[in-house]
Every structure is written in C-alpha cells, then in structure tokens.
Structure 1
Amino acid sequence: MLSWRDRPVAIAVSLATLTLGSLAAMPAADAGTNAAARPRVTHDARSVTLRVPASAGAPGYSVKVATDSLSITTTRGGHTVLATAGGTTGGLRFRADGAWQRATKVTGWSWKNGVLRLDAATTRDGVTAEALITPKSDRYALSWDVKGGGADRLGLAFDLRSAGHWYGHGETATPGGGPYTDQPWPLDAGNVHDDAFGPASYEVVDPFWYTSSATGLLVDTGEVMDVAINDANDGLGRFTVDSGGTYNATVFVEANPFEVYRDHTGVVGRPAKSDATYRQFAEPLWNSWAQFYTNVDQAKLLDYAQRLHDNGIPGHTIQLDDRWESNYGNLTFDTRTFPDARAMSDRIHAMGYDFGIWVTLWINLDSTNYRYAADHGYLLKDKADPTRPCTVSWWNGTAGIVDLADPEAKAWYVGNLKKLMSTYRVDGFKFDTRFFDDSCAPDEGYGRADYQRLGAQLADQFDLQGAGIRVHWSGSQQTGFVIRQVDKGTGWESLAAAVSQNLAISTIGYPFVETDMVGGSLGQPAPAKEVLIRWAQASSLMPLMYSSTSPAGTNDTTTGKPVSYDRETIDRYRDAVRAHGRLAPYIWDQVKHSVATGDPIMRPLFFDFPRDAAAYTVKDEWMLGPAVLAAPKLSSGATRDVFLPTGRWFDVNRGRVVRGPTTLRGYRVPLDVTPAFVDVRAAGAAKAIGALRRTGVAPGAR
C-alpha cells in the first residue's frame, strides 16, 4: 500500500460539482487502470454485487445490493465494514406527506459506463426510487432520489454495529448535556440527535463520519440535516437531508481510519495556512469572559492583567470579551465602565501583551447602529417578509445580522472594526455568534454555506489572537483558523467532554484546536482548584491554550463573590503553561506538517496505531503529532490507568522506557504530574523528550 505521502491530495472534481450526468460519465476505474483491475458486477437471484479489486494504495472492496429490499452491504476482505439499516427503517428512506417511507424491492438494474443503476419500488404506492453507485478505487459515490412522490426529506440509515465504532460529526447535541458537558467518544457510546445540523448551526459540525472499520460517509449538501446516532439506543445512524432533491454522498473504504480521514481531506481541502502565529501556539490567550462574564470594567481588566503579569504566568494577549460596548452592535466603548479605553490598551501593551476585543455581527434593535444599518439595507432580510430586516433572539437580546453578501454592508462593518483598531490600539478580534440564521433569507445566489465562506473572508483580514472562530462545513477546513469549542461547564465532566470534542473537531479536518477556556465557563460556579490545574495540564498537551479563569483569583458568577486559589494553584498552572511553551517548537513542526498535508495534530491513538484494538475506545488519551502520547488526569484522584500502544515509550516523568502494548495500572499522578509518553522511534521524539522530560535516564534505557 502506498504511503499517504505518495498519494494525491487534490481531487479533480469536488463533491459540490458532481451531478448525476457527470457521475454517469465517470470511468469505471481510476485513469491508467487496466481492464483486468476494473470493477465488475455479478448477480444472482437475491443480489447484485459490485466488486472493486485491490490496487496500489487501496485495499479493494465489494458492494452487495440485496434485491428484495435495496439494502447495501459494503465488505472488504470478505468482512462487512458498513451496512444499511434493515426492517421498517430501511436504508434509503424518505418522507412524503408527513409519513416516512423506504425503498424496497429492486425492480431493475444496469451496469453501464462505470455506473451501477438501481431502480426500486417503495412503500408508497406509485412512487419509485433510483440509486446510482459509481465506484473508484477507495470510495464510491452514492446518489439517489425519489420519482413521483413529493418527498420533502431524503436520508440514509445504517446499522451502526456493521461498521464498528463511529466518529466524526463535530460538536454533538445529546440528552446528556452535549455539546456543553457531554461529548460521546466514540459517538455510538452515547446518544446523538441534532435536527438542526447544518451550515448555519452555532455548533462546529461537518457532514463527515468515519468508523473503526475504516469506512467513511461524506454527505454533499448545503441543506439542514437531521442526524441521529444511536438515538434512544436504537443502534442506528440516520443521516437525513431536509430536501426532496437528489441525495449525494460518498462512502470511503480504506485500510485504516487515518486513510479515510486523508481521503476526506482530499475532497474538502487542507489548511492553506495557519492563522495563528508561533507565539499564539506557544503561550495562552487570556480572555476576560469566564473571569468576569459581563460584569467587567476598565479597573477589573487592568487588575486581571497585572496579577497574571506579576505572578509570571505567560500569555500573549489580554482579550476583553462581552460587555465593553455602549450597546450591542454600536462598536463603541461604554465610557461609564471604560472611561479611557486607549489608556487601558496602552497599559496592557506596556506589560508585554497584545490587546483584543470581542465583536459580533449581531446588532441589537436598541443600538444606534441598528437604525443606521437597517436604513441602509445592511442587514439580512426576513425570510417571510423580505421588505423587513430579519430579527433574531440571542443571549443578549434581539438583533439584526449584518449581511456579508452585500459589499457595502461588509465595507461599513469592516470600517467600524478598523476605526476601533486605530483609535484604541486593538490588535485583533474574537468574532462570536453566527454569520447567518435560518430564520433569515440569504441574498439571491447565496446559500447557508456561502455565509460561512463570507464570514471566514471577513475574519481573515484580522488577527484572531488564538481565539479562532467557529467556522465550519465542508470546505471551511481550508481557512486554517483556530477552532474554539462551544462553552463548557466548570466540572470534571466538562473537562472530559472538552477532550473528546477536540478529537472530534480535529478529525473532521480542523487541526488547530483548543478547548473552551481552561477551567470552563457556562455561568457555572468557578472551577475547583483541582479541576483548574488538571484542565491547564491537559491543555498544555494540545495545540493551543485558551485561558480565562485566573489561578491568581477569580469570581463566582453564581454568588457574585471573589474566589481565591492558593499558591500551589498558581505554581501548577504556571508549570503547565511553561511546559506548553517548551513544547512549542515541536508543536510548530506539527503546524507546518498540517498545512502541508492536512493531518490533524491532536488525534486519537488509533490513527497512529490502527492494529491496537484497545485504542479505539480510549477517550482520555491522545496523540499530539506522531511522537507525544498525552494521558493527563481528567478526573479526581491521584492515580489513573494508562494504555500504551505498540512501541517503545519514554515516560517523561519517570525517566524509563516502557514497551507496548500494555496498560499501566494505577499510575500515580500527584497534582504536580502530567502523564505523557514519547514514542522514541517517531519523528520529533528527541525534541519532545527535551521539552517534557522531568527526570531520569536516557531514552534508550531499560
């Protein structure tokens, strides 16, 4: 099998441009493949089977279609790796007149010009389904639609167990508190259901899922989806598009999950650059949100910065979050709470920090700028009445949204931002909220996903200071932005969710990830000492650190009272930040590698060790690049078990080499220890050991 470095990273035709006609015209196999290696179709009384032979860089696979039910089973090496749902659910399902229907018996099929065409009856009288399967060496396109039925939703449903464990998706909506305090890993270990999964979602999601059996599903749509994975423990994955048009998807079939990820990256694109600088990877961003929420003023922010500075806790930026404006959307300082914002900025700069502020495109109805923007037509229009601006409710009131598809509106908004920069020495921005809402009407010629692109183009003009931006959907991977998570709580369950969520976001194509602010937020009581320290330690072994709650003292939003931490909290937090800084040269190497290849920096163990079965369910460890295995403590107590995959691992805390695969039972983790191990044979091992090594012997010792 070819290594990934030898495989092409660009796909000549993107999913977005594929039509049924172009699919039918595609060749039966990749260019240059001889006739003997091309796909072939066989059939018997019960099935039609499409076989794609193994080739250089691809393992080969078969797609078997049961003709009595139009069920699709994908196999590799004689083993099932993905199968559609059976029974009354059905694999190809649609909604018509409010009732769910499904494709049933295959009534005809043909194999022509490299396309397997299937015609089928359905459970709705007078309605038929047509499906097209177009194979390539490591994937097949699956398109299907409904004929004559007035369908308003089409979907695919799979038997989750047929493919092993499921991953991908991004931030999950779950009955257990997701995406804020719950993120199942793997996805099938929990209950996921998001009926507003789409480009306008506030959650960072993408229509891509992959499995432990090394298959993947990429749905090509700009519409809202209803996605359910093991909802109510039903064992199903249901991927429904809120449209009656043709359902277009790609199913990847590879030798291991990492190759599926790389195939997906080849379609949606890899980062064109890193938006964050070396310093922003090396030091934390300090944002005021969890420290003060909206109860912030000039004196408080300066004291916050000064205490961090005086305690020697590194950071590259002090970023002022929500509630600095005279009113939301005015983009002017409230002089009652910030009487001299320029002097405040100058003092922050004098301490060695950059200065940043939080902004949004949502303009509240009671702000001065709202009337101006509405009068000039700068706001998105209402879907029901395009003569009026669209109004949306959010956590700070009712607002209109700047229409980024209108060049004049965008220029006006950018002008306001640049005025802030020049007047107050603002170095960058944290963009919050969404660029579009489904209650609004997009401009003519634009769709939901286009507003993600327009928002990314806007943000790309400014330094995002490591706070990144919540941009997503297929193609957004190319922007190279840091992606910050949705708010987390302040307890252990949120720290665990933050780790799993980083793995989910990173492996749908966004390698520059960070958790929510260290210690969490979400309006909950201030984090306990141990949670704050362990969160900082975990973040020190991630690509970036995003901080807010100060170990030198914070505030409890639920009581309005100050919270003091002891000297050990300050020391342990500072130790974590400094360890991250020492590791920065290794992390920066991974950043450059991600820009060149699209590979994730923070990734699950099974990406690098696909043959270690135990790796597929480990949710409290990860690889940071090819050399560093992070196993920080994510719960209370002073011990944890650590799984080490196949290889030779240098324990940076104990100075010994451990051979894997093995599980270290009851590994001791007092509050000054962050478990981490280095694969001594991996690229970058020496640099990582030099950064993280605490004590002990040479890496080759026994």
Structure 2
Amino acid sequence: MKFTDGYWQTLPGVTILKAADLDQVEAAGDRLVAYCPTTRIRHRGDTLNKPVLTVTFDAPAEGVIGVRVEHFQGTRDLGPAFPLHRDDTAPTVTADGRTGTLTSGDLTVSVDAENGYRAQFSAGGRVLTASLPGSVGLVRDGEGRSFVREQLTLGVGEHVYGLGERFGPLVKNGQTVDIWNADGGTASEQAYKNVPFYLTDRGYGVFVAHPERVGFEVGTEVVSRSQFSVEGQALQYYVIHGPSPKEILDRYTALTGRPARVPDWSYGLWLSTSFTTSYDEDSVNAAVDGMAERALPLSVFHFDCFWMRQFHWCDFIWDPATFPDPAAMLERLRAKGLKISLWINPYIAQRSELFAEGRDLGYLVRTTEGDVWQWDLWQAGMGLVDFTNPDARDWFTSKLKVLLDMGVDAFKTDFGERIPSEGVVYHDGSDPAGMHNYYAQAYNQCVFDLLKAERGEGEAVLFARSATAGGQQFPVHWGGDCESTFVSMAESLRGGLSLALSGFGYWSHDIGGFEGTPDPAVFKRWLAFGLLSSHSRLHGSSSSRVPWAFDEEAVDVTRTFTRLKLSLMPYLAQLGEQAHAAGTPVMRPMVLEFPEDRSAAGVDTQYMLGDALLVAPVFSADGVAEYYLPAGTWTHLQTGETRQGPGWHTETYGFDSLPLFVRPGSVLARGAVDDRPDYDHLDGVTLDVFGLADGESRTVQVAPRTGAEAATFTVVRTGATLSATAEGTTQPWHLRAGAASASGSGAGTVSLTLG
C-alpha cells in the first residue's frame, strides 16, 4: 500500500511513526531482540507518549532469518497461518546493548544504532539488502487503520521476481502489487495465485508470512527500496539467502513445502469437453475416437462443468439426461487407456440438495448474524464450504470419494478466489481477511489429500486455478481464463514464469486460449508452446479444442509435438523429481538457469524446459520468432542445426517447428516410446549428447517411472571418443551423438567415436 506523496510528504490523513532510535539490542536465547522507539531519545521525557517497535530476529532454517516487527503484542492471532517447516538450526547470537548479530548458516543480520535503527543482511562478506533508518514504520491512515511496513534496499541493476502468477512484465521493479486473490482473468494486475514471496538476482529472497492482503511497492514508494506492509500490529517476514536463484527456491520451498510428485500419466495430453459446449457420451466418444483415428496420443479426458445439471453446481451428481450411466461410460473410457478428470468447485448452489444438507449440518460459511453467507455471482444463491471445519472437509470429500470409486482419477479444482473478507465467521474462528487468500490453500489441500489417500503417494494430481504461498504442494496449477490471441499467449507465459519463481514446480494453460475461438494460426502456435510445457491441456470456453476443428495441419502439429513430448518423458520425469526434491520448477525463466547473464535477466518471451532445452514460442502468424541464446553453440533439437550465442536471433519457423535448442554440453535422455507418457522410461533409453567438450563429463539419471529408483549414466568425452557408463540397470540403452551411435545392455560401459 502506498503511504507517501512523493519523497517528502505523506498522503492526506496518513501518519508514519518510524523506528527512529535503538534503545537496546539483546540476545534472548536463540533470538536477537531490538527495541526501537519512534522518536530520538535525548532525555527521559522523550520516552513518554510514543510507541516502541519491537523487532525480533530468529532462524527457522539454515540460511533463513525471520524478522518480526511488532507494535502492540497483546493482539490475538486468530489465524490462519502458513505452516512452516523448521529445521534444527542453532543460530549464533551476539549483542552488546547497542549492536547485535544473528547468524544462520551463511546469512547474518547485523543491527546497529547508526542514525537510528538499521539492520543489514549479508553473506560472504557482501551486503544483500538492508532496512535503513526510517524504513520500519507504524502507519495510520485517514480511516483509522494501522499498518506495519518495512522497506528493504534494492541495489543498482537489481531485479525483483515472483509474487505469484502475474501477467505483466516478469521483472517486478516499478510495480505495485497487492497480494489478493481475484477471479480477474489474465489481462490485468489481478491474479488467481498471489504469493507474498519475491527473489532477486542479488542472492536473496523475501517471504512475507501473512495470508491476508500484503501490499508490495517494488521501487514505487521509494525507487531504491522494496516496500511491503500489512494491516494490523505486527509484520512477519523472512530473508532467505541463496546465493543462486535455484538455491533460494530450494530454501523457500523447504520452508513452505515442496511440490508433490505427480504421476507420469499427467504429463500426457489432456482433452476437455470445454466449458459451455454441448456434449454427451456420443460427443465425448467422437472426440476420443477422433484422436485415436488420427494417431494423436491422448492420456486424460476431462469433463468440464456441465457434467452436472445446470443450477446444481456443485452437487457432484452426473446429469442423468446427458449421462444416464456414468459408471459404465467411465469404464469404457478407461478401457481405452484414458484417465478421467472432473471439474469441481467449492461453491454450493442453493438448488443443490447439498446446500440444505450443508446448511443444516453447519458446514457452510456463515455471516456474523448466523445466516449462511450467500450471493448470486457464478451460481444462484451459492454458499461456501467451510474448510476450517474438519467435519465439513470429511463431508465434502465423502461426495468426491463416490466419484473416485466410480473411476475418476483427478479433479480440476476451479475457483476459490471469490471469498468474502468481512462479515463472515469461520468454524475455527479464523480471521476472514486472512481466509480470503488462504481459502484456496485449504480447498486444494482437502481435495489433494483425498486423492493421495485413495490413489496413493505420487498418484494424486489436481488441475487447480487459485493458490497462495505453499500451494505448490498440491499440483498442478493452470493459468486461468485467457483470450485466444497471440498477446494473451504471451501474457500467459509471463504468468507461468512468474509463478515458477514463486516456488511452483509445474504449470499449464489452455492451449489456444480460453475465451473465444482462436484462429488456426494462434491455435497451432499455441500447440507447440502447450506441448512443451510441464502439463498440456486442450480446453476452451464456448468452442471445442479438438485439432481437426481448425484444419488438417493442426492435426499434424498436434501429433508432432505430442509425440515429441512423450519421447522426452525420461527427461521430464527427472525434472519433476527435481521439483519435488528441491523446488526447482520444470519450466524455468532464463534467469534461473543463467543468473550471471545480464542479458537474460528480463527475458520473458522464452524459457528453459529444465536445464537442457530452450523453448521460444512463436507469437506471430507469419512465423517470425525472436529469441536469445546465452553463450555457446546451441543445437536445434528437431533439425540438428546450430546457432551461436550469446546474442539475439530472428528467424522464420513453420507451424511444425519453433526455436527449440539444446544447451551446449547437455546429455538429453530420450525414451523409446512416443505414444503414451506412462511407460518404462529406462527400457531402451537413448542418451543424446550435444556439444560435450573434450575432458567434460555429464551425469544423468533415468528412472523407469516417477518415484522409482533411478539408474545413473555418466558420459565422458576424451578427444574424439565418447564413453558412457551405466549403473543400476539391466535394461538396454543407447548412446548417440549426431549420426554416431552405440548400444549397451545393463550396467557397464559403451563408447563411440565422433565423426
């Protein structure tokens, strides 16, 4: 929230009491505490009638320092709160009354009284960021509300990233961001997935641990500082050291939760009925059989909203007029090798029988007057499931379990953003303002935990729209309601890259766009982008997204990129394992892989699919693509042609291709199957070697399936000879570099001579 009018004045009605002095710093066990009067203390009279801000530092994990700024400490904390995973870090704390330090791993905060209160965060002998005199403040506005704010310094050329799935520029400098979930599409400052966490390319990240509205002024209140504020009497945030962006995400997701593993089948192509299209079992079969007849591999079929009766969402009952025998239909679809996904949301329409049931049992959110909270937006008279009530969670999941028993495999957990922030009461007494964003977390966790319990670890997967910090634990998330244009395709990509730098390991989007019907050029270009994303779904609003609805070339493009993606499953599955183990996303902004390349810092029209593949979607009908290559000789995956970096390139591509380059020095694991994702990735795997220099070696791991023990392959180049050693496998595998190839079987070594 903005509080000032330029540098010298506050906005009308606003007063700011700043931490103007440092009365004392003391060590309190494993904490460091600073007492900061909001006026300079020259004599005893200055201690009267002025607030004192208490700033407490602790270390929840190695390389992480927590900061809590408090005014009144008698205020009740109603919740909700982000659960944090703390380790056994024992920080080093020193204090002499006027200065103090707390060190956690390689991160140190130093507090002193130079010109008032100051705190500097440093690592490796370098200051990362600092809270300067006057940065910490207690703010009151013209409406009588109290806020606590902090301002951390930004260095020259420092770039800020993250803050959730945001559709504007990837670099957040110069942006004002409110962390407040909204159902606002992909074309504005509103976002479905708001995450109060940012990282910078100077070696640190900042997590503001508040589920309620957090206001960020990234170089806008003061251009050399990142400001954040919350309403109330206390502000809690964490500074997280890297030093690299990957290491920051590792520590952040260790603190807030790792992305779960997702099943191999989820990486395949999903086909939807789409939203308001007219469909029944015959039309579903026509779409499924049409894909098979055209040799288009399909992994998941999704039923969108109208699998239920109109005005009854969500009662979880199949529309009997459209689907008279859903269990038999699902059995027939599963016999074709498909998994089944169903659309749901947490809103219960008044016409649904579940409304009266939930009302009478006390499972719906109520107003302060004791009535069920209702409105008519989306569904007539809808209420909200109260996920803070354990009995309500059990009630809700019992309805979903019936569907799982029927043969459903996954749920699209739509909505969860239109949540009232005042005038309502939750079962556990949670603050409604905090529940506005946190509701998505409670909703998605409830459904994900059910799937995990019923389907097993590693088999649970959602297609979720809303989220906040920690939501990465319940994948997958998709980008929401975008238009069917090239501009919207680009804004969707920016949203996904921003979410990746907010701790989310997987991401998807509606191929072709959601609103409207894309022209064939948009659809075909979006196909390549969508099928080179972690997860791929054909879905729209009022029109079908089957490829032959556009033209025959769209069918060919779908086949080309679906089969390409499925052949990459040994590689993609290991990227998923990295997301699960360390929070490193599958789709990576360029800055994540090339943090030292200043030219890559602001690139948001392309991405790395893992560490080896550079993908630059084409955003024009004429096929002209502009892309940036970092240093080295890059090889086009489809053609074998090479391009030199660093530098920008402009080229024209047909619909069956795009800038898809392999990073120099990569060993890319390719599967022996390209018609489904859930095969034995290790059996017959090919190790494609690209530009490995003399004396270099690379190690890759390949597991037969997600979560299984992986085999390890080590590839070494010595002069004109490539040799590869396999450990932990008895299956056949291949080594290839250009036209040269060699084969092995089981553990052992093979070699080939480069031409």
TM-score normalised to the size of structure 1?
0.73
Does structure 1 retain, via aligned residues, the 8 Å contact 2:61–2:89?
Answer: no
> What is the CA–CA distance in structure 1 between the aligned matches of 2:228 and 2:468, rounded to whole Å?
15
Correspondence 1:247-326 to 2 at 5 A: 247-271=235-259, 273-274=260-261, 276-281=262-267, 283-289=268-274, 292-293=275-276, 295-326=278-309
> What is the CA–CA distance in structure 1 between the aligned matches of 2:551 and 2:307, rounded to whole Å?
30
How far apart are 1:563 and its partner, in Å? 9.2
Q: Counterpart of 1:67?
A: 115
| 1:170 matched to 2:220 | no
2:413 to 426, 431, 448: 431
5+ residue gaps, structure 1:
1-8, 22-28, 100-149, 173-181
| 1:398 matched to 2:448 | no
Correspondence 1:380-529 to 2 at 5 A: 380-382=365-367, 384-385=368-369, 387-422=370-405, 424-434=406-416, 437-439=420-422, 440-444=424-428, 446=430, 448=435, 449=438, 452-453=441-442, 455-462=444-451, 467-470=462-465, 472-477=467-472, 479-514=473-508, 516-521=509-514, 524-529=515-520
| 1:92 matched to 2:78 | no
Does structure 1 retain, via aligned residues, the 8 Å contact 2:635–2:641?
Answer: yes
5+ residue gaps, structure 2:
1-58, 72-87, 184-189, 672-684, 691-735, 742-752
How far apart are 1:626 and its partner, in Å? 1.9
| 1:356 matched to 2:329 | no
CA change 1:556–1:572 in 2 (3 A) is: closer
> What is the CA–CA distance in structure 2 between the aligned matches of 1:470 and 1:67, rounded to whole Å?
47
CA change 1:563–1:581 in 2 (3 A) is: closer
| 1:11 matched to 2:11 | no
How far apart are 1:421 and its partner, in Å? 3.8
CA change 1:667–1:78 in 2 (3 A) is: farther
Secondary structure, in 3 states, of the residue corresponding to 2:399?
A: helix
| 1:567 matched to 2:552 | yes
| 1:212 matched to 2:212 | no
Q: What amino acid is the match of 1:92?
A: V
Correspondence 1:363-378 to 2 at 5 A: 363-378=348-363
- Number of positions where the alignment pairs a residue of Structure 1 with one of Structure 2: 591
Question: Is the deviation greater in 322-331 or in 227-236?
Answer: 227-236
CA change 1:66–1:616 in 2 (3 A) is: farther
Q: Counterpart of 1:538?
A: 529
Q: Counterpart of 1:116?
A: none
Aligned residues with identical type, % of pairs: 23
Secondary structure, in 3 states, of the residue corresponding to 1:397?
A: coil
| 1:585 matched to 2:629 | no
CA change 1:556–1:438 in 2 (3 A) is: same
| 1:246 matched to 2:234 | yes
CA change 1:239–1:81 in 2 (3 A) is: same
Q: Deviations over 1:574-601 (max 9, x none)?
A: 2111111111110001112222222222
**Bigger helix share:** 1
CA change 1:458–1:686 in 2 (3 A) is: closer
How far apart are 1:82 and its partner, in Å? 3.7
Secondary structure, in 3 states, of the residue corresponding to 1:482?
A: coil
Does structure 1 retain, via aligned residues, the 8 Å contact 2:64–2:240?
Answer: no
> What is the CA–CA distance in structure 1 between the aligned matches of 2:397 and 2:686, rounded to whole Å?
45
Does structure 1 retain, via aligned residues, the 8 Å contact 2:397–2:450?
Answer: no
> What is the CA–CA distance in structure 2 between the aligned matches of 1:166 and 1:633, rounded to whole Å?
26
Q: Deviations over 1:490-520 (max 9, x none)?
A: 1112211222222221222221222x21111
How far apart are 1:616 and its partner, in Å? 0.6
How far apart are 1:304 and its partner, in Å? 2.5
Q: Counterpart of 2:4?
A: none
| 1:600 matched to 2:582 | no
Q: Counterpart of 2:653?
A: 669
Secondary structure, in 3 states, of the residue corresponding to 1:227?
A: strand
Does structure 2 retain, via aligned residues, the 8 Å contact 1:648–1:681?
Answer: no
Secondary structure, in 3 states, of the residue corresponding to 1:504?
A: helix
Does structure 2 retain, via aligned residues, the 8 Å contact 1:158–1:238?
Answer: yes
Secondary structure, in 3 states, of the residue corresponding to 2:510?
A: coil
Does structure 2 retain, via aligned residues, the 8 Å contact 1:594–1:601?
Answer: yes
Does structure 2 retain, via aligned residues, the 8 Å contact 1:555–1:563?
Answer: no
> What is the CA–CA distance in structure 2 between the aligned matches of 1:71 and 1:40, rounded to whole Å?
14
Question: Is the deviation greater in 413-422 or in 624-633?
Answer: 413-422
CA change 1:323–1:202 in 2 (3 A) is: farther
CA change 1:391–1:231 in 2 (3 A) is: farther
CA change 1:315–1:659 in 2 (3 A) is: same
How far apart are 1:526 and its partner, in Å? 0.7
Q: What amino acid is the match of 1:270?
A: R
Q: Deviations over 1:508-549 (max 9, x none)?
A: 2221222x211110xx32112122122221122222212225
Q: What amino acid is the match of 2:529?
A: A
Secondary structure, in 3 states, of the residue corresponding to 1:323?
A: helix
Correspondence 1:29-68 to 2 at 5 A: 58=106, 67=115
TM-score normalised to the size of structure 2?
0.68
How far apart are 1:474 and its partner, in Å? 3.4
> What is the CA–CA distance in structure 2 between the aligned matches of 1:351 and 1:209, rounded to whole Å?
44
